[in-house]
Chain A
């Protein structure tokens, strides 16, 4: 009897628990092998970019934090830097504010990588890692609650500075946490790096060549896993990253395991940068640029001085005008280069803001990663790219 072969089309997602939200993959299968795939996105499209065009500049900070919801303060940092460049006030930002921003960005990267590690390991089968990673992430969220009263989307970084000063006892909480963190990362590595179950699921899986990675516009951990040591913090330094001591970890294999190794090493570097930043920050001090056309005056002055009350009222009712022009100042987010292209026509609302979303391009590259592989490895591939659907769909 002649055997007949035909391919089968299987729909994976958008409600699949391992697709990191609402990613839908239409897979064409030959047995267990993937012949072709078509990612379908847009299920989480909320039109944040259109909404932002109706809002005043300072009202957009909480909006952009909701794009990449695992690394919210990287989004607001990128947005604030772009607006500050356009306003021409970036040289007026005090050193202390810059250091606090570095600290927040690195702690945010740590928190984002912890969620990635926990969910990625859980999807491949190492459920206990999730418990450990989320334990530490919970502590980071408590720290964010301490500085801003909000765990997921603190909106602590504002155009022109920070929302308020650091809370009392901040150093006493964050310092010990960072000191213990490198031990905790060792613990994750004990559970995974030499674990045969883990290496069999990750080594050589979902490979992407160096040329493909660059051609698909992937810059960030995915590029560093194929041996491209490009990090915005080193190549186009922003804030005062050039004064910090850290290295850019790279691997050359370009498989799921290499991405895992790069991100684990990135967490160690983030801890290192955060510790350096914490040493430089005084417990109290200036927390904004002091230009009361852009940042509201302190509350005690608003309640006692007429002039301060007027400035406070103007900022919250009319906002501030941003000079005509356009600007793009990227940062190294947890998922790669992330920046906001902003266009202003000189009024208090933007003409256009556009997020350069690293997850969008990672999602686009998925078919190249999983082609010819097994269907079970699709889960490992999605996990390793660390896509956040809020960032993809915006």
Chain B
């Protein structure tokens, strides 16, 4: 349980240091699993190594999230939780790892890891949605939980929590006369085609 040192042993990170020379990988204090802080520029390379290295095989990205540490600096931490499933999938021993990238402010962007693990797609969208942090090279960076026209990033510490906001309202979809006529025409043609195919006409 808590006293199990094998669970928090971070010595396997040396393999990553060898595979990605130049990357700064700093081991942080930990009580539940190894924790490493990586620099932003080498994030994708480090993640790729973690996933594909035969002795590591962190094949599952469990979650991507962020922490806003206002007023401390650096303000943001992007947190990647990953797991190696052990004999269940692959050959490396079962391990967990928490990877972190620190950001001074939201003007900086983090490179996306969705090319490494496709699961990161929505998880990074969620961080973008709720923290306003941009992911460079993300294939589909849109809001995922909040409405598209929402202003602000709700999970930031400086986002006001006790103000009332007017609910956005939408007017029902309106068709122009031409669009309506085109729709009706398409429906009639469709019905005629269906009737012809039932009768077996050419």
Contact = CB atoms under 8 A, between A and B. Distances in A.
A and B interact physically = yes
Nearest to A88: B2
Interface in A218-252: 219, 223, 228-230, 235-236
A54 B146 CA distance: 20
A39 to B, nearest CB: 9
A217 B61 contact: yes
B132 interface: no
Interface stretch (A13-21, A301-309, A350-358): A350-358
A390 to B, nearest CB: 13
Highest count of chain B CB atoms <10 Å: which of A50, A217, A352, A354: A217
Contact of A214 (B33, B59, B161): B59
Given A42-B144, A228-B85, A328 B98 contact: yes
Interface in A338-353: 339, 341, 343, 351-352
B101 interface: no
A343 B67 contact: yes
Contacts of B117: 215, 217
A360 interface: yes
Interface string B112-134: 00000111011100100000000
Contacts of A214: 59-60, 85, 89
Given A47-B154, A230-B85, A329 B32 contact: yes
B32 A327 contact: yes
Contacts of B144: 41-42
A360 B89 contact: no
Name the prevailing secondary structure of the B interface residues: loop
A339 B98 CA distance: 13
A114 to B, nearest CB: 27
Contacts of A217: 60-63, 117, 119, 123
Contacts of B68: 352
B85 A360 contact: no
Contacts of B103: none
Interface in B85-105: 85-86, 88-89, 94, 96, 98
B48 interface: no
A137 to B, nearest CB: 29
A341 B145 contact: no
A393 B161 contact: no
Nearest to A239: B1
Contacts of B65: 341, 352, 354
A236 B118 contact: no
B122 A236 contact: no
Interface size class of A (residues with CB under 8 A): 35 or more
Contacts of B94: 235-236
Nearest to A86: B31
Interface in B39-76: 59-63, 65, 67-69
Contacts of A229: 88
B202 A341 contact: no
A236 B121 contact: no
B88 A235 contact: yes
A321 B125 CA distance: 33
A165 interface: no
A245 B6 CA distance: 24
A49 interface: yes
B56 to A, nearest CB: 15
A91 B63 contact: no
Contacts of A88: 2
Interface of B: 1-3, 7, 29, 31-33, 59-63, 65, 67-69, 79, 81, 83, 85-86, 88-89, 94, 96, 98, 117-119, 121-123, 126, 143-147, 154-155, 161, 202
Interface of A: 1, 41-42, 45, 47, 49-50, 54, 82, 85-86, 88, 90-91, 210, 214-217, 219, 223, 228-230, 235-236, 325-330, 337, 339, 341, 343, 351-352, 354, 356, 360-361, 363-364, 393-394
Across the A-B interface, the 9 shortest Cβ-Cβ residue pairs: A217-B119, A230-B88, A42-B145, A45-B145, A354-B65, A356-B63, A364-B122, A230-B85, A215-B118
Given A85-B2, A228-B85, A356-B81, 15 more contacts: A45-B146, A50-B154, A54-B161, A86-B31, A91-B1, A214-B85, A214-B89, A217-B62, A219-B60, A235-B85, A236-B94, A341-B63, A351-B67, A352-B65, A360-B123
